[in-house]
Structure 1
Amino acid sequence: MADFCFSLWPEEPTPEKLINCSECGLIKHGSRMVWGEGNPEAPILVLLDNPGAREDRENKPFVCGTRQTLQKAADQVGLKADDLYVTYVLKRRPTRAYDKEQTRHICMNHLKQQLESKQPQYIVCLGNIAVQSFFQDPETDVKSLRGKFHNFQGYQTTAAYHPLAVRRRPNLWPLFLEDWRLVAEHYLKQRPLN
């Protein structure tokens, strides 16, 4: 995999009426809203907790560790960048303490809008925050949901560890890859031949 090249996925513009959304209070943290990235029409929607750093200290765009790990796994199981759309429970990156439960509850309304308009074939929740927010259950976790698809609110949904957890604990990489293979096998069986 030495020749694998990490790439910046294009961001989907935030809907104009929501750019200055202040309902959850994260606008006060000074981070910009990131609606999503990748292919907005992709069949696979990837849900993360919140956007990571997108620019380095000199404000140059860079591919953070989360995206590097995600891109590497997708590539290894045969998925293309166009197969994926990445979005977040929180559309802004928190920079200090906040009321996590209330903020996530408010921000889930944006995700519901995205799901209604995009109607993805599959949803992959990465990490416990994404899992608990999407499944609306603070007791559920990745460990109990990974390895199979669950029909939740009409969406074929699965879970995998957060890419940053995989980077911190390399022993999770085989499980992460296994979960992405599951996604790829389901999708590639149904992908139309071009």
Structure 2
Amino acid sequence: MRAVTLPAPDDMDAWREAARALIADDVPPDRVVWQVGAAASDLFAATAEAVSAPPAAASPLRVSRGFIALAGDAVLHQDPERFALLYALLWRLRETPRLVEDHADPLVRRLEGLAKAVRRDIHKMRAFLRFRSVADGVGAGERYVAWFEPEHHIVRANAAFFVNRFASMRWSILTPEVSVHWDGAALHEGPGAARGDAPGGDPIEEVWKTYYSSIFNPARVKVKAMLKEMPRKYWKNMPETALVPQLLASAQARESGMIERARDRTEIGSNVQGAWEALREEALACTRCHLHKHATQTVFGEGPVSAPMMFVGEQPGDQEDLAGHPFVGPAGQMFDRALAAAGITRAETYVTNAVKHFKFEPRGKRRIHAKPDAGEIEACRWWIEQEQMLLQPKVTVALGATAARSLFGKVMTIGRERGREQRLPDGGAAWITVHPSHLLRLPDESAREAEFGRFVEDLRLAHAALG
């Protein structure tokens, strides 16, 4: 037997070097015992021999980028068999180089399941981790501390996201296994911590709670879906979750009315709702383009699946990226104002974006909107097509050039196409107008008011097309 002791449970580099040595020595998977740190006192330790470095003359084993990506995620899982499973797949790749593309293979499927769980845990950490301000000594300024309990070994791999996102802050992330600390210039590691080591709250939370209460919409609440996406184990980390029970209770009267109106919903409608929820769940782990690496979360479409009108914007902005809901920032407020002026209720609309992740350029503490390119728009078209197919809206409105390109699959000129009905590739009716953010960028008040009136007229024409 060969014993391999890795220094840390998430050490991909150490696993790769050990695997190369084993392959070079032609050691089959059933002759290898994988251990981490102190776990070396294994049942087989008495008879196992340590693995050696690969011979200098050994030919390197070439693997696909798909395997590297799969291994990089799966190795972070807490499953104790992950190292053995990856080595077993690597061993088989010598004979079948494209095996990793066979998603029906039981070994590949199991490793993909591990990788998916890790990616989901990474998303949870980005979405549900909350920093709290603490005093850090006389004259040292503010420091921010967060507590999180990951399910897998993701803290080191996820640290770069928080460094990029909060580069100007001094912060610490405490977890039971390991802690990471950013001093504004370098990242440092420390031992694991206890929940009591993290602060309990700060004044900023009260402001956030007020904001959260003001934007809470009971029409959006699906308790089972909410608990599936945000299990109760994460609630203790977030100030706003303490408000959820009372906000739900106050919404009971409105909810009852919604239930009454929904009693005539058909079986087809129920199936569409379930399909939409499954689609949204899949989109939360989307990695179709690189934008997911820096955004806080996927911002999927929202609204009733029976909505006769679908509005497609460009991409989520800074506030949408943090809140996880489309059109809640300044452009969203302008959009709501225009809808009201056009006589359109938000309840009869489904609102989404052509690109589901926030693209931005960091400038100090701010994140400045960056326009999605053609590749990013194309990567996200699949989600828009699925939303269109499920909802089958009577009218679709493209808000801006990016949305128009996503819907029509080609560049559309707003000035030329605006104000008249178009036909989508699938035959559906569509209208093209400006994005609400265009109104916010106009230089003076008179220009904004004139363009706002034209924008409202576009919405009225699209709404009238419902017949």
- Which of 114, 138, 142 is residue 414 of structure 2 equivalent to? 142
Higher share of residues assigned helix: 2
How far 1:55 moved relative to its partner? 6.0
**Amino acid of the residue matched to residue 144 of structure 1?**
R
Deviations 1:51-81 (Å, cap 9, x if unpaired)? 1233699x7x993111111111111121111
Distance 1:23-1:173 versus aligned 2 partners, 3 A rule: same
Distance 1:26-1:124 versus aligned 2 partners, 3 A rule: same
**Alignment partner, residue 182 of structure 1:** 461
Of residues 24-33 and 14-23 in structure 1, the stretch that sits farther from structure 2 once superposed is 14-23
Secondary structure of residue in 2 paired with 1:87: strand
Task: Provide the rounded CA distance (Å) in 1 between the counterparts of 2:464 and 2:215.
Answer: 24
Distance 1:130-1:50 versus aligned 2 partners, 3 A rule: same
Task: Provide the rounded CA distance (Å) in 1 between the counterparts of 2:320 and 2:396.
Answer: 27
**Alignment partner, residue 162 of structure 1:** 435
Q: Are 2:362 and 1:89 equivalent residues in the alignment?
A: no
Task: Provide the rounded CA distance (Å) in 2 between the counterparts of 1:38 and 1:54.
Answer: 18
Of residues 127-136 and 114-123 in structure 1, the stretch that sits farther from structure 2 once superposed is 127-136
Distance 1:178-1:113 versus aligned 2 partners, 3 A rule: same
1:75-154 to 2 correspondence within 5 Å?
75-96=340-361, 100-138=373-411, 140-153=412-425, 154=427
How far 1:17 moved relative to its partner? 2.6
> Is the CA contact 1:150–1:156 (under 8 Å) kept in the aligned structure 2?
yes
**Amino acid of the residue matched to residue 421 of structure 2?**
F
Distance 1:55-1:160 versus aligned 2 partners, 3 A rule: closer
How far 1:8 moved relative to its partner? 6.2
**Amino acid of the residue matched to residue 415 of structure 2?**
K
**Amino acid of the residue matched to residue 177 of structure 1?**
V
> Is the CA contact 1:126–1:163 (under 8 Å) kept in the aligned structure 2?
yes
Task: Provide the rounded CA distance (Å) in 1 between the counterparts of 2:435 and 2:281.
Answer: 30
Distance 1:157-1:177 versus aligned 2 partners, 3 A rule: same
Secondary structure of residue in 2 paired with 1:66: helix
**Alignment partner, residue 24 of structure 1:** 289
**Alignment partner, residue 3 of structure 1:** none
How much identity, in percent, do the aligned residues show? 26
How far 1:40 moved relative to its partner? 3.2
Secondary structure of residue in 1 paired with 2:452: helix
Distance 1:40-1:52 versus aligned 2 partners, 3 A rule: farther
Of residues 97-106 and 78-87 in structure 1, the stretch that sits farther from structure 2 once superposed is 97-106
Secondary structure of residue in 1 paired with 2:337: helix
**Alignment partner, residue 110 of structure 2:** none
**Amino acid of the residue matched to residue 156 of structure 1?**
A
> Is the CA contact 2:297–2:321 (under 8 Å) kept in the aligned structure 1?
no
Larger RCO, structures 1/2 (Cα 8 Å, 6+ apart): 1
> Is the CA contact 2:315–2:354 (under 8 Å) kept in the aligned structure 1?
yes
> Is the CA contact 1:39–1:81 (under 8 Å) kept in the aligned structure 2?
no
Task: Provide the rounded CA distance (Å) in 1 between the counterparts of 2:283 and 2:409.
Answer: 23
Distance 1:141-1:20 versus aligned 2 partners, 3 A rule: same
> Is the CA contact 2:395–2:465 (under 8 Å) kept in the aligned structure 1?
no
How far 1:7 moved relative to its partner? 5.6
> Is the CA contact 1:31–1:94 (under 8 Å) kept in the aligned structure 2?
no
Task: Provide the rounded CA distance (Å) in 2 between the counterparts of 1:133 and 1:148.
Answer: 18
Moved segments of 4+, more than 4 Å: 6-9, 11-14
**Alignment partner, residue 303 of structure 2:** 38
Task: Provide the rounded CA distance (Å) in 2 between the counterparts of 1:80 and 1:155.
Answer: 21
Secondary structure of residue in 2 paired with 1:54: helix
Distance 1:55-1:135 versus aligned 2 partners, 3 A rule: closer
> Is the CA contact 1:125–1:159 (under 8 Å) kept in the aligned structure 2?
yes
Deviations 1:8-38 (Å, cap 9, x if unpaired)? 6638866223321112111111321011123
Distance 1:123-1:21 versus aligned 2 partners, 3 A rule: same
Task: Provide the rounded CA distance (Å) in 1 between the counterparts of 2:321 and 2:285.
Answer: 23
Distance 1:142-1:24 versus aligned 2 partners, 3 A rule: same
TM-score (structure 1 length as normaliser): 0.81
Give unmatched runs, 5+ long, in structure 1: 1-5
